[in-house]
Amino acid sequence: MFDKIRALLHTPAEAGSEAPADELHLAEAALMFHVIAADGMVRQTEIARMREVLCERYGLSEAEFGKLLASARDAEREAVDLYRFTSLLNKHYDRDQRIAVIERLWEMAFADGEMHEFEDNVVWRASQLLNVEAPDRIAMKQKVRERVHAADEESGE
């Protein structure tokens, strides 16, 4: 797994080539981890939401998620910026897929019930690097905010 992280961080995929799915999953998971760590505290509720989103999206088992989470933590810790992750996603995802990534990053920003300004900033920077325009970024933020608010009302919080 560490060889895959090193490959992701040090040898970018050729434009137009097929990236293995696990590299794309790792890139997205590292961005997610960066969002939840942006405020200086990684909470269990954030990890739980990350697990839900990634397991649902990619059909991961608990063991697979655990490995992906560990790799994402390591990759995020070693990265000097978001470009390594976003450039890989840019090369292999179309516009709608990149907008969906931003939606999932907003899920992370709202995961603990409060969005910190640093989390907002990370999603904003990732959006720019993923060539997701401001209206789409804002629409995804509003969509997730409304979904979280509705879920909170249902649960009585």
Residue 97 pLDDT > 50:
yes
Residue 82 tokens, joined: 């978001």
> Is the pLDDT confidence value at 156 over 80?
no
At residue 16, the pLDDT reads: 44
- Which pLDDT score, from 0 to 100, does residue 73 have? 93
Which tens digit of pLDDT belongs to each residue from 15-38? Answer: 445 567 789 999 999 999 999 999
Mean pLDDT of the chain: 87
Could you read off the pLDDT of 105-142 as tens digits, one per residue? 999 999 988 889 999 999 999 999 999 999 999 999 99
Q: Provide the percentage of residues in the chain whose pLDDT is more than 70.
A: 86
Provide φ and ψ at 79, rounded to 5°: -75, 140
pLDDT in tens, 63-94: 999 999 999 999 988 888 899 999 999 999 99
Least Cα distance to 104 among 23, 32, 56 occurs for 32
Give the per-residue pLDDT at 18: 56
C-alpha–C-alpha distance, residues 30 and 81, integer Å: 11
Q: Which fold has domain 2-11+18-155?
A: TerB-like (1.10.3680)
